[in-house]
Amino acid sequence: MSSGHLRDKRQVSVGLRKPHVQSSDIPSPLYTFQYASSRDGIDSNLLILLHGMGDKCAPFFKFAERMQLPQTAILALQAPVPIMDFGFCWFESFDEDGELLAPSLSRYQSLKAVREGLESLINDVLVQPSFGWQRDRIFLLGFAQGGTVALDLALHGSGRLAGVISISGTLTEEELDVHVGDPVRADIARQTPILLTHGTKDEMIPIAEAHNRFDRLVRLVPEHPSLRLLQFPKGCKMIDSPEEMRAVMTFFSERLYLRNLAMENTPGIIPLF
């Protein structure tokens, strides 16, 4: 396991395991993280985890370890903005009096900076030959504010991802307004499968508001082939029931890229990748 606040590009990544992510590889402002290769020794997919406001990356790293997704390395990132002694958040969230910020240009610009950092991490580091990941085999899973960041990258990023899961997170008002009617943005966003789960007892974003924002997201990316919102009887919590966990694992099982090493090693078989 690697931890840090990503490694110099010494060679092209080959074989079943990717090089470990190191602190020197991570672009600003995403310096702190935990990384581990897949337990089965085959790094075909990468799961990036984004925690909620006021938390740190460590609990989400442990959660991903418990999931034991096959042929999937994990990278849990820590948000860059400290909240006094209460952990970290992904973008500007409080005013100088400690009150939650209303929708604003400054809040959107702060979120946009995190998006640019994630895009740099993926495009300038992870998919380069020294690591060898493919963008369409990279998943994002975020909780609450981390889910907002994951959805933002799906909507405003530069290309397809393997999939995005947002637990108790929605797009902000600013994100929903900024690309209304943009057909180019919609075409890119339609390429990434998206799953949202939300609690019917959520006190932060009531379920009615979650449905309202989801409906607006659907209008931004009409005819998206894989965009779903599922609701579960819970508050603003991480995955909280076997039913919700089953929905998340089904999403992964339908989209993980899994290599068949037995077939690859059979004489006379020519791999088509």
Domains of the chain: 2-8+17-255 (3.40.50.1820)
How far, CA to CA in Å, does 134 sit from each of 45, 80, 84, 177, 270? 8, 25, 37, 30, 21
Residues making up the chain, counted from first to last:
273
Mean pLDDT, rounded, for 116-140:
95
How far, CA to CA in Å, does 24 sit from each of 21, 89, 137, 193? 8, 22, 23, 31
User: pLDDT tens, 105-116?
Assistant: 788 888 999 999
Q: Of residues 27 and 124, which shows the higher confidence score?
A: 124
Mean pLDDT, rounded, for 19-27:
85
195-210 per-residue burial string, b: 16 or more CB within 10 A, e: under 16? bbbbbeebebbeeeeb
pLDDT of 63 higher than 70 = yes
What pLDDT was estimated at residue 115?
A: 94
User: pLDDT tens, 230-265?
Assistant: 999 999 999 999 999 999 999 999 999 998 766 565
Helix 207-220 to helix 145-156 angle (10° resolution) is 10
What pLDDT was estimated at residue 1?
A: 62
The angle subtended at Cα 237 by Cα 232 and Cα 243, nearest 5°, is 35
User: pLDDT tens, 152-196?
Assistant: 999 999 999 999 999 999 999 888 887 666 788 888 899 999 999
Q: Is 92 helix (H, G, I), strand (E, B) or coil?
A: coil
Alpha-helix residue ranges (DSSP H) falling in the chain: 58-67, 105-120, 145-156, 173-178, 183-189, 207-220, 242-253, 261-264
pLDDT of 15 higher than 60 = no
pTM for this structure? 0.88
Confidence of residue 6 (pLDDT cuts 50, 70, 90): very low
Confidence of residue 40 (pLDDT cuts 50, 70, 90): very high
Q: Of residues 7 and 40, which shows the higher confidence score?
A: 40
pLDDT of 80 higher than 80 = yes
What pLDDT was estimated at residue 13?
A: 43
